[in-house]
Amino acid sequence: MTTLLLVRHGQTVWNSQLRYQGHIDTELSQLGLAQAERIAGRLRDERIAAIYTSDLRRCLETAEIIAAPHGLKPVPLPGLREAHYGEWQGLTYADVRARYPELVAARRRDVVGFVPPGGESLGATYERVVAAVQQLAGRHPDAAVVVVTHGGPLRMLVGALLGVPPGNSLRLRIDNGSLTICESYPRSPVVAVANETCHLRGLAAPDDPALGN
């Protein structure tokens, strides 16, 4: 069975601005690059069969830094992308609360099923990400693989592994540059490590501990 080494990408400027990124192709900030170097150091001595990543730049950059010591080339998978936030992409969380108060209230009532204008629901994101992870795990049934993705998908995936109702999975904290390890996936998954950040000690505190993206 597969061991999943789940990594959230390093921080971007938009993370620090508490801005919805979704499918917009932002790059790592200087702090994000430092976080990527630290997680690469943390995983340097692991026996890794492959590295899969969201095809968005912030994840690709993180994955390439992790891959370098192992001589691997990250495999981009669109299925690992963050949720699409539609018209909210590029706006700060405060902007969205001010411009779309009724929609924000609707989202609070149904955080999993709610669809931002022109976007996708977190439920749809969950189904897409789980399908991508199941596919890549099937290629490596007895090995460890790195999966670099985003805060939202990671919360949904880890919540599912823990049997947490989807709406409650957003209570999980998954920091930029963190490591979460799931063993024995998919038959009898065990979350052995959640949101490990010891390797980030000494760097700036995260600006975006709650929502992700």
Q: Is 46 a catalytic residue?
A: no
Q: Exactly one of 82, 84, 120, 199 is catalytic; which is it?
A: 82
Match 């932002």 to its residue by tokens: 26
Task: Confirm if 7 and 177 have CB atoms less than 8 A apart.
Answer: yes
The pair of structure tokens assigned to 190 is 């065990």
Residues recorded for the chain: 213
Q: Exactly one of 9, 84, 150, 199 is catalytic; which is it?
A: 9
Q: Is 70 a catalytic residue?
A: no
CA separation, residue 40 to residues 34, 66, 174, 211 (Å)? 10, 4, 17, 24
Checking phi first, is residue 210 left (phi over 0); if not, alpha (psi -120 to 50) or beta?
alpha
Q: Which residues are catalytic?
A: 9, 82
